[in-house]
Amino acid sequence: MPSVMGKRFECSDHGAQYMVTKAGAGDLSCTDAGQDGPNQLGKRYQCATCEATLLCTKAGTGIVCCDGAPMALLAAKTLPSSD
């Protein structure tokens, strides 16, 4: 499935659901989890090549991939201090 902003992506084989928050040119798919474990609820994942970004809305047993490559977990943004 191509990534279209605002659309839901569901991995029915692994029970996970995602929301596309930034569209990209790659095709989305799911695969079995590796050593790092399955995707985590509430975390954002980004494709290294097309920059598509997904938010995990329901955790499952697999990992999301873009063009066959696993998507990387995005680090949390640091907020400026209020001092």
pLDDT tens string for the chain (83 positions)? 778 888 999 988 899 999 999 999 999 999 998 888 899 999 999 999 999 999 999 999 999 999 999 999 999 888 888 76
Cβ neighbours, 10 Å, residue 52? 26
Task: State the pTM of this model.
Answer: 0.86
Side-chain half-sphere CA neighbours of 42 within 13 A: 1
pLDDT number for residue 27: 93
Closest CA to 58 of 42, 35, 74: 42
pLDDT number for residue 3: 80
